[in-house]
């Protein structure tokens, strides 16, 4: 009994390494959430988070090159992508920026842009234990889509989960490509 209680106590002290879920999904909208423990101080984790062109998977860009992505870190700033021949894409717009802690952006990512949808993507970093931090993402999307918005919840969840795993890998190893599938 004492061993079981000790194991239970340890489980509550050790932070979860990964939490991912479609928190809710209806025909009118959905919310996905991801949370990852990171073996790095929160200042390093947040600084790396803002360098989106270093960790975002280029397969989830219009240009095929993540280095064409940038985020202007201020309210009204653009999470944008440069395209060939002078074109561009506004993926999201910065709504709230608290250096070192919170980056909130609004808009519809990727194929969601072609529908009557609005979204709010919040990325946070917080201290966990000394030298370790927690990355969290929440993306809420709502509006109109002919077949229902809920159909997009799982694909969006998978795509954002991949991005978070790549970010964690870049922070911890210096290489986003070393990310392990969740």
Cα Rg of the chain (Å, integer): 17
- The answer to whether 96 touches 104, Cβ cutoff 8 Å, is yes
Using the predicted structure, report yes or no on whether residue 172 has a pLDDT greater than 90: yes
| Closest C-alpha among 37, 46, 42 to residue 131 | 42
**Mean pLDDT computed over 108-116:** 95
What is the percent of the chain where pLDDT is above 90?
85
Instruction: State pTM to two decimals.
Output: 0.87
Cβ atoms of residues 91 and 68 within 8 Å: no
Q: Which residues pair with 137 in a beta bridge?
A: 34, 123
Q: Which domains occur in the chain, in start order?
A: 16-178 (3.30.530.20)
Report the pLDDT averaged over residues 112-120: 96
Residue 178's pLDDT is 87
φ, ψ for residue 133 (rounded to 5)?
A: -145, 175
SS3 of residue 88 by DSSP: strand
- pLDDT for 16 beyond 70: no
The residues near 160 (Cβ < 8 Å, ≥ 6 apart) are: 32, 34, 137, 139
pLDDT digits (tens, 9 = 90+) for 65-84: 999 999 999 999 999 999 99
Q: What is the DSSP string of 18-64?
A: EEEEEEEEETTEEEEEEEEEESS-HHHHHHHHT-HHHHS-GGGSSSS
């Amino acid at each position: 009994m004492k061993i079981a209680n000790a194991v239970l106590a340890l489980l509550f002290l050790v932070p979860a390494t990964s939490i991912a879920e479609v928190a809710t999904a209806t025909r009118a909208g959905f919310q996905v959430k991801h949370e990852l423990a990171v073996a790095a101080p929160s200042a390093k984790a947040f600084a790396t988070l803002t360098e989106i062109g270093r960790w975002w998977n280029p397969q989830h860009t219009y240009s095929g090159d993540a280095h064409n992505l940038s985020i202007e870190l201020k309210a009204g700033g653009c999470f944008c992508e440069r395209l060939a021949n002078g074109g561009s894409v506004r993926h999201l717009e910065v709504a709230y920026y608290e250096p070192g802690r919170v980056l909130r952006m609004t808009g519809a990512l990727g194929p969601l842009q072609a529908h009557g949808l609005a979204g709010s993507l919040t990325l946070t970093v917080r201290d966990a234990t000394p030298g370790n931090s927690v990355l969290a993402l929440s993306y809420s999307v709502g509006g109109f889509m002919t077949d229902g918005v809920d159909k997009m919840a799982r694909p969006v969840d998978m795509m954002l989960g991949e991005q978070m795993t790549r970010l964690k890998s870049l922070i911890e190893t210096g290489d986003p490509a070393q990310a392990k599938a969740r």
